[in-house]
Amino acid sequence: MNDRDIKIPVSDLLKLTEKDEATIEKYTSKIYKRCLVCGKQYLCIERGRNDAKMCEQCKNDYKYEEAIKNAPAKYLYRNECKRRNSKVRRGNLSRQKYDEWRIEAERLRDKVLNGEIVFEEYYKWMLGV
C-alpha cells in the first residue's frame, strides 16, 4: 500500500451491501481520494475512473470561475460588488445604499446577458455610480 491509498472508514464499510463486499478489494484505493486543490478527502462518485481530481466544491468553484471569464458583465459585477461590500464593512457606504445599487446592478447585468443593452453602457453605469 502506498501513500495515496486511503483506507475506508469502518462506518462506511457497514453501509455496504453483501454484493458490494465482493468488489471492495477492487475499488478500495479508488473510493476515497484527496482533492488536489484543497487537500480534503472526498468520496469519489466515479469509482471506476481515475481522472477525478477535485472534490465537488472545488469543481463547482472552477466551473463558476470559467463562466465568469467568458462573461465580462458577470466579472465586472462580481468585482464591483466586492469593492462596494468592503466599503460597507469599513463604514464608508451605508448598507441601504449598497442594497439599492446591487438590485439595480443585477437588473442591468441581466439585461446585458439577455442582449437588451450593450456591455459598454453597463460599464459606464458601473463606473459612473
DSSP H or E stretch at residue 43: strand 41-43
Residues with Cβ within 8 Å of 101's Cβ and at least 6 positions away in sequence, in order, are 84, 129
Q: What is the pLDDT along the chain (129 residues), one digit of tens a residue?
A: 444 555 556 566 556 655 565 555 555 545 677 787 888 877 776 555 555 677 788 888 888 888 888 889 999 999 999 999 999 999 999 999 999 999 999 999 999 999 999 999 999 999 885
33-53 burial, b at 16+ Cβ within 10 Å, e below that, comes to: bebeeeeeebebeeeeeeebe
Give the span between the Cα atoms of 74 and 55, in whole angstroms. Answer: 25
